[in-house]
Amino acid sequence: MSKISEKKPPVICIDGPSASGKGEISRRIAKNLGYHLLDSGMLYRILALEVDRREVDLLDKKALTDFVMKLKIEFVERNGRANAINVNGKDVSLDIRTDKVSKYSSKIAAIPAVREALLKRQIVFRKPPGLVADGRDMGSVVFPDAEIKIFLTASPAARAERRYKQLIGKGIRVKLSSVLDELIERDARDQNRAISPLVISETSIVIDSTQLSVEQVSMEVMNVIISKKITHGMVGQSIT
């Protein structure tokens, strides 16, 4: 077998803290390249939803891993909506965004067996022509051999403002100060957790989006990709 045929599909990792904009950027880049998309944060919500429905023992490592590996998960764009999510053929996009699932996913994310099981599941997303992986430890833990590692960040104030506008747009009444406090607390938890903490990989390219628009960040990331000649499967270089 030739070396070319043995080469793994390319991976572009886009990591960063909460509300850094990595989800939207990842979606745009994946669409431009014609790559698969992995939203790792949603995997914890999916698992929280499914184990609650089926009463899976989270302490049984083998049973948990088998259960996770059998889930057929697809991130798709439907009716113009970003990141519609199918699990075993069913759209669970709304189901996984409830407050109950959100709180439960946060709890199970701290369980080592859960993170280990999902690590194996995330690797499965690496398929031709390539993958854009969105998360907090994609470049440092899940895909350490990724061709490109982007760490997207912004000031806490800028991220809080973005999250605040998102919530207000959904009709959720919150205080900006409360959103900022929650983000700061989340950052501390992510950076100090024992398993897979939020860190900047030595080979990551850091992009500070505090003063940048989504379009500007997308263009910066695309410029990095083009400079690295990671364009397999590219369907166009326009930023959508």
pTM of the shown model: 0.84
| Rounded Cα–Cα distance for residues 175 and 157 (Å) | 13
| Rounded Cα–Cα distance for residues 78 and 97 (Å) | 17
Mean pLDDT of 83-88: 85
pLDDT band at residue 81 under the 50/70/90 scheme = low
Residue that is last in its domain, among 95, 112, 128: 128
Q: Would residue 210 count as lying in a domain?
A: yes
Total domains in the fold of the chain = 2
Give me the amino acid identity at 14: I
Task: Express each pLDDT in 12-34 by its tens digit.
Answer: 999 999 899 999 999 999 999 99
The reply to whether 144 and 116 lie within a common domain is no
In this prediction, residue 210 carries a pLDDT of 96
pLDDT band at residue 74 under the 50/70/90 scheme = confident
Q: Would residue 5 count as lying in a domain?
A: no
Mean pLDDT of 70-93: 81
Q: Would residue 202 count as lying in a domain?
A: yes
Determine phi and psi for 135, rounding to 5 degrees: 180, -150
Structural domain containing residue 219: 12-21+28-34+135-229
